[in-house]
Amino acid sequence: MAAALQANIRPVKFTATLRALTKQSPAPFRVRCCAVNSAGKKRYNITLLPGDGIGPEVISIAKNVLQQAGSLEGVEFSFREMPVGGAALDLVGVPLPEDTISAAKDSDAVLLGAIGGYKWDKNEKHLKPETGLLQLRAALKVFANLRPATVLPQLVDASTLKKEVAEGVDLLVVRELTGGIYFGEPRGIKTNENGEEVGFNTEVYAAHEIDRIARVAFETARKRRGKLCSVDKANVLDSSILWRRRVTALAADYPDVELSHMYVDNAAMQLVRDPKQFDTIVTNNVFGDILSDEASMITGSIGMLPSASLSDSGPGLFEPIHGSAPDIAGEDKANPLATILSAAMLLKYGLGEEKAAKRIEDAVLGALNKGFRTRDIYSNGTKLVGCKEMGEEVLKSVDSQAHASV
Ligand code: IPM
Ligand code: MG
């Protein structure tokens, strides 16, 4: 790993319960620098991509929380909202307009809501909202996707798994995000010599792509509980054979990390059988997509889980792992916590503003401790609130920290 990248690995201390959600210190990536204004406040440019469905609702809340937590730490933001996904298709006919790419590249970090919806489901592939998201990941070169799944004590009853299985789960999926079958060539749908249509994609990984994601995973595992499980399908796939060989070779550089390997089918089973056996999981793009959704369910709701997608130098992309939920869009029913926690990851991993990040994590816990729950995490005896009210409660919680510290 380049020295410049290593220089940014800094230990951090957390005390809150949410510590586990994002406790690994900034991964080996360069955090963004900022301008300092005349009042001595740091200023960052953030591109907001609300997208589709519940995206705009959750982004407007996360924006307020970000602003509020930042202001308590002498950090200011300038926000620029740009279209992506279906919203961009409706506006300019493509899912990722050039202007959105340049704004994202020019900013210090990008916060995305969600993309997709019934309206565009039948579009040709290059005009699907999802294509815009994949293009954005490629344009920003965000190859490392960190998806934490932590069962909070406050929400253990929301898990579909038995309490004793779910309690205390704290794992992190490190998903390779810009390679593999999502991007491999050749790909397409064509007619073969028998006149029959065939659809095909290519799962392909070059050694350097495996090495760089594996290093991120080793570094991250080292700052967690020191256990890394590499998930592949090396009993069948050639790309997985190379994956396993490269990951195994790198282990020599990380003698303090305990490396294991698991086939993906077994990993899917073990995640619901005994999820506590996992600390950090590293895997390819498509396995990571599937396993991170599965892991999210252990925690009770996909509406709680944030993610960070990082490159080795440019701005990071931060987004909740849930989708656009078109069935509840505009109904004030969405859970904004995954996006609020993504804003905390943005502060911590994207900007190195760990104090402001912690304010947000603590505020989320504060709102949960007071018993506020959106529909997806509601249980008897708690207070059912909508998206806006949950956002207001988190904001109040940020404010109360300010008063507590005066
Ligand atoms: C995710 C999503 C995306 C993916 C889709 C929307 C393209 O499922 O971020 O997990 O497959 O990567
Ligand atoms: Mg997914």
Phi-psi label, residue 141: left if phi above 0, alpha if psi -120 to 50, beta otherwise: left
**37 located within any domain:** no
- 184 shares a domain with 241: yes
Cα of 114 from ligand 1 centre, angstroms: 10
Specify the pTM. 0.89
**11 located within any domain:** no
CA distances, 212 to each of 3, 144, 377, 405 (Å): 14, 9, 36, 42
Instruction: From the CA of 285, give the closest atom in ligand 1.
Output: 12
Q: Which ligand is nearest to the CA of 138?
A: 1
- H-run or E-run covering 63: helix 55-71
Q: Please give the pLDDT value at position 21.
A: 36
- 350 shares a domain with 371: yes
Tokens 């073990």 belong to residue: 270
Q: Please give the pLDDT value at position 32.
A: 67
Q: What is the pLDDT of residues 174-217, one digit of tens each?
A: 999 999 999 999 999 999 999 999 999 999 999 999 999 999 99
Tokens 């998903």 belong to residue: 175
User: Tokens at residue 1, please?
Assistant: 């790993």
**61 located within any domain:** yes
Q: Is residue 277 within 8 Å of 165, Cβ to Cβ?
A: no
**174 located within any domain:** yes
Instruction: Please name the residues in contact with 164: beta carbons below 8 A apart, sequence gap of 6 or more.
Output: none
DSSP code for 39: T
Q: What is the pLDDT of residues 116-135, one digit of tens each?
A: 999 999 999 999 999 999 99
- 283 shares a domain with 309: no
- 366 shares a domain with 334: yes
Q: Please give the pLDDT value at position 31.
A: 63
**21 located within any domain:** no
- 166 shares a domain with 291: yes
Q: Please give the pLDDT value at position 98.
A: 98
Protein residue whose Cα sits closest to atom 9 of ligand 1 = 321
**150 located within any domain:** no
- 285 shares a domain with 203: yes
Q: Please give the pLDDT value at position 8.
A: 30
Which residues line the pocket of ligand 1, CB cutoff 6 A?
Answer: 130, 133-134, 289, 321
Peptide bond before 186: cis, by omega within 30 degrees of 0? yes
Counted domains in the chain? 2
Residues of the chain with pLDDT under 70: 1-33, 38, 403-406
Cα of 87 from ligand 1 centre, angstroms: 17
- 333 shares a domain with 252: no
Instruction: From the CA of 289, give the closest atom in ligand 1.
Output: 10
Distance CA 336, CA 56 (A): 10
- 115 shares a domain with 97: yes
Q: Which of 42, 233, 333, 348 is catalytic?
A: 233
Cα of 73 from ligand 2 centre, angstroms: 34
Q: Which ligand is nearest to the CA of 293?
A: 2
CATH number of the domain to which 370 belongs: 3.40.718.10
Give catalytic status of residue 355 as yes or no: no
Task: Specify the 3-state DSSP secondary structure of 306.
Answer: strand
Range of the domain at 228: 156-190+198-300
DSSP code for 185: S
Q: Please give the pLDDT value at position 271.
A: 98
**92 located within any domain:** yes
- 295 shares a domain with 166: yes
Scanning 251-302, the segments in alpha helix (DSSP H) are 264-273, 285-298
Protein residue whose Cα sits closest to atom 12 of ligand 1 = 289
Give catalytic status of residue 293 as yes or no: yes
